[in-house]
Amino acid sequence: MLTPRTHTCGQLRLADAGKTVTLCGWLENLREVGGGVAFLILRDFFGTTQAVLETPELLAQIKALNKESTIAVTGVVRERTNKNPKIPTGDIEVAPTEIQVLSRCQHNELPFEINFSRDADETQRLRYRYLDLRNPAVKKNIVLRSQVVSALRRAMEDLGFPEINTPILTASSPEGARDYLVPSRKHPGKFYALPQAPQQFKQLLMASGFDKYFQIAPCFRDEDARGDRSPGEFYQMDMEMAFAGQEEVFAVLEQVLPPIFEKFGLYKRISQAPFRRIPYLQAMEDYGSDKPDLRIDLLIRDVTDLLGGCGFGPFENAVVKAVPVSGCTLTRKAIDKLCADVEVQTAQKTYWFKVDEKGEIAGGIAKFINADPALAEKVTAALELEPNSLVMLAAGPKAVAQKTAGVARKLLGAACPQHMDEEQYAFCWIVDFPMYEIGEESGKLEFGHNPFSMPHGGKEALLKAERGEMDPLDLRAHQYDLVVNGYETASGAERNYDPEVMVKAFELVGLTEEDVRSKFPAMYNAFCYGAPPHAGAAPGVDRIIMLLAGESYIREVIAFPMNQSAQDVMMGAPSPVSQAQLDELHIAVTKEED
């Protein structure tokens, strides 16, 4: 029978000396020092404690066990002679009188050393995630996640937002990513969809007379993974407000989020409210990204008029963007690597020149500029170049040149520490996103951000676009993103709550009123009964915690993440199912032809 635990492995202090205690945990390590004496390190959720084995019987009992076996140690607390100031229990040790084996680890070798699991292969870490999570450094992020979610919940409740849970099984709708579909047993041939976001339900709550709403919502999107995005599922703090617009939403998040970052973040310097607001078009011009990292002080400059006719082939009939960097002494090898890194990320080439110590333009494409001394003077003056400056250049169609220069700016910020004030959380709002864009796959007009957003100018602006009086691509929407250190951490909009305006917005992308009624029946019908103006946003919980923890990969803040291929290698998902299950769901699985 298990002796009840009296203390945790992170609890005992010098004041406990002389007490008889029982600790339970995992056998982390055993170190023999001779003379029949050995030091045992016991670990649990709360920390580690050293026990000193001083009898042959106890030593033999422990030596028969593999590391990571679970045991209970009963003994007397005493002061350590070789104190360890690096751990909270470093002033004491336990002299065991009894050890109980609770569960044996049956493997002589572990897939990886627990305390160094973060150095292991990703597949091994995910396959043995229950061992990976025993690493205190890994566990720390999951504890942080719990604390942050709790703090977010309290903050929203303090502002009068009720938490309301919306359905997980719902209808498929086109919201920008692929749905996860769930077959219905009772309705053959029909499917539920897991929600990409609670978008329609939260708008329906506003139409139902609720003044505010929030929830820590699970969302499901069948999309590819990347460092800051988990495949399959993620969580967001979804919120919505009736009789409100952009300003009210900004005020709430600017009140809720900074204290979270101040309390839990690595950096104690945080942008103060109101956060800077940058229109989308300006963000693309100045930073080459709608997710600018404002810790970097570099700005992109348009040099099309200056360099478009310099005789360098790639600049002809192209938009040319420059990223000037003062005080840059990068070597030719480092510059070449930067250019290669930009090409890997963008599939576009970058170019460069520098101003040497004598103030002369040299290196890269310098010969095309120096061919005309007047041009060299103009370039130096326009870009305010001083000795030891570097200029990186991107060329192509406007959007391509902007994005390529944006990646170059980000990499230059990392390569030139004097231009990046890293230890802070720099917030900004990106506002006035394009209402529409040309789809990369379809080549047709599509919604750019959110189909349920209100366009600037309302119905009249949509009618102008319909009549050809303005380009639909020039329409701006009341859409906004909150960006922190180059990561989108929240997205939201003022909603389109008028059914006539909604229909007109969808007609521009080729959908009829009947299409809108059939695809969004609940929302369309609800709005026909009178809906309030409303707005909201959805900060991404996983990404916020990733920033707070200082991690580069979102996997590190999720208890049981999937791999880059959206597979759970620990549980074996996705997995085949039996023919009986398929028959019950009226599903036939076809094989792709070779």
Let me know if residue 500 belongs to a domain. no
Residue where a domain terminates, one of 400, 419, 438:
419
HSE at residue 292, side-chain half, CA atoms within 13 A, is: 29
The per-residue pLDDT for 228 is 74
The per-residue pLDDT for 549 is 97
Length of the chain: 594
Measuring CA to CA, how many Å separate 323 from each of 150, 289, 303, 501? 42, 13, 10, 42
Query: CA 76, CA 95: separation in Å to the nearest integer?
Result: 5
Residue where a domain terminates, one of 361, 396, 419:
419
Report CA dihedral (186, 188, 194, 195) to the nearest 10 degrees: -100
The per-residue pLDDT for 594 is 58
Residue 202 CB neighbour total at 10 angstroms: 24
Residues 197, 449 contacting (CB under 8 angstroms) = no
Residues 28, 47 contacting (CB under 8 angstroms) = no
CATH code for the domain in which residue 27 is found: 2.40.50.140
Tokens at 143, concatenated: 């504890």
* Nearest CA-CA partner of 287 in 419, 407, 428, 434: 407
Query: CA 449, CA 492: separation in Å to the nearest integer?
Result: 9
Tokens at 41, concatenated: 């390190």
The per-residue pLDDT for 477 is 96
Tokens at 282, concatenated: 């300006």
Residues 48, 29 contacting (CB under 8 angstroms) = no
**Chain centroid to CA 353:** 35
Provide the 3-class DSSP secondary structure of residue 139.
Answer: helix
Q: What is the largest CA-CA distance in the chain?
A: 94
Residues 225, 566 contacting (CB under 8 angstroms) = yes
Range of the domain at 78: 14-103
Let me know if residue 35 belongs to a domain. yes
Let me know if residue 254 belongs to a domain. no
Let me know if residue 486 belongs to a domain. no
Residues 9, 49 contacting (CB under 8 angstroms) = yes
pLDDT in tens, 233-243: 999 999 999 99
One-letter amino acid at 220 equals: F
CATH code for the domain in which residue 367 is found: 3.30.1360.30
Q: How is residue 236 annotated by DSSP?
A: E
Let me know if residue 116 belongs to a domain. no
- Give the ranges where 159-296 is alpha helix by DSSP (H): 199-207, 246-264, 280-287
Query: CA 531, CA 522: separation in Å to the nearest integer?
Result: 12
pLDDT in tens, 315-329: 999 999 999 999 998
Query: CA 19, CA 3: separation in Å to the nearest integer?
Result: 16
Residue where a domain terminates, one of 73, 103, 133:
103
Let me know if residue 31 belongs to a domain. yes
The per-residue pLDDT for 442 is 84
pLDDT in tens, 31-88: 998 888 999 999 999 999 999 999 999 999 999 999 999 999 999 999 999 999 999 9
Q: What is the per-residue DSSP string for 318-339?
A: SEEEEEEETT----HHHHHHHH
Let me know if residue 386 belongs to a domain. yes
The per-residue pLDDT for 76 is 98
Pick out the chain residues at pLDDT < 70: 1, 174-176, 227, 593-594
pLDDT in tens, 5-38: 999 999 999 999 999 999 999 999 999 988 889 9
Tokens at 245, concatenated: 């617009």
Strands of the sheet with 301-302, listed across from one edge: 301-302, 319-325, 389-396, 351-355, 361-362
Q: How is residue 109 annotated by DSSP?
A: S
Structural domain total, the chain: 2
**Which pTM does this prediction carry?**
0.92
Let me know if residue 391 belongs to a domain. yes
* Nearest CA-CA partner of 3 in 78, 102, 87: 102
Mean pLDDT of the chain: 95
